[in-house]
A and B are shown apart, each in its own frame.
Chain A
Amino acid sequence: DAGITQSPRHKVTETGTPVTLRCHQTENHRYMYWYRQDPGHGLRLIHYSYGVKDTDKGEVSDGYSVSRSKTEDFLLTLESATSSQTSVYFCAIRLDTNTGELFFGEGSRLTVL
């Protein structure tokens, strides 16, 4: 079974501090994604990766960077957190390139004060 571990699950930080969220998968899925979920907006894609060191921007990438140095890990970094980045962040993996199905982690709730 596909498995995703997101860490931390909850974090409270202050404006201007850097924050890194980690997504770890237990299988060698090529595609990984970071989404944010906000009321009234659904889920919006921040960045995605299609392989080690291969990443691209999503629709709301400003203020975020990502890195993927290993197949199993996809990191999302907020260089200088702002209150507008308070959100729930979900990592996802693409289970099947034919069906397009994404499998989501349980989310990381970030609060920026």
Chain B
Amino acid sequence: QQQVKQSPQSLIVQKGGISIINCAYENTAFDYFPWYQQFPGKGPALLIAIRPDVSEKKEGRFTISFNKSAKQFSLHIMDSQPGDSATYFCAASKGSNTGKLIFGQGTTLQVKP
């Protein structure tokens, strides 16, 4: 059972455009929602994260929008650049005890120059 569902699987955006990746979760006990960025041959790296007490968090060109009632959250990349081309994973975890992250399936983003 996939507890975190991510879409789309792949995305192509022109340079300067907005990239949007969506995730939906099932478990209302989740209380930490990070996004990870992964370049080929590397491990995933934390990009930005949010907790359910806020509806939006922005860091530079990256924004997380969070909708608690719909159990959805999304990543927006403004002014997308070719260097943003990577695979993006959303994730969720519950509680602060174990830190176990449940990941979405991943989205491969290609930003065309």
Binding site for B on A (CB under 8 A): 31, 33, 35, 40-45, 48, 50, 56, 58-59, 90, 92, 94, 97-107
| Chain B contact residue count (CB 8 A cutoff) | 25
Within 8 A of A (CB), among B25-55: 32, 34, 36, 41-46, 49
Tell yes or no: B113 within 8 A of A by CB: no
Binding site for A on B (CB under 8 A): 4, 6, 9, 32, 34, 36, 41-46, 49, 89, 93, 96, 98-106
Would you call B100 and A45 a contact (CB within 8 A)? yes
Would you call A58 and B100 a contact (CB within 8 A)? yes
The minimal Cβ–Cβ distance linking B92 to chain A, given in whole angstroms, is 10
Would you call B45 and A104 a contact (CB within 8 A)? yes
- Find chain A residues with CB under 8 A from B9 CB: 40
Least CB separation from B93: chain A residue: A100
- Find chain A residues with CB under 8 A from B106 CB: 42
Least CB separation from A31: chain B residue: B99
| A48 touches which of B41, B44, B89, B100 (Cβ 8 Å) | B100
The minimal Cβ–Cβ distance linking A103 to chain B, given in whole angstroms, is 8
Least CB separation from A99: chain B residue: B49
| A104 touches which of B4, B43, B99, B105 (Cβ 8 Å) | B43
State the CA gap A59–B93 with chains docked (Å). Answer: 13
State the CA gap A30–B105 with chains docked (Å). Answer: 27
- Find chain B residues with CB under 8 A from A58 CB: 100
Would you call A97 and B99 a contact (CB within 8 A)? yes
Would you call A41 and B105 a contact (CB within 8 A)? yes
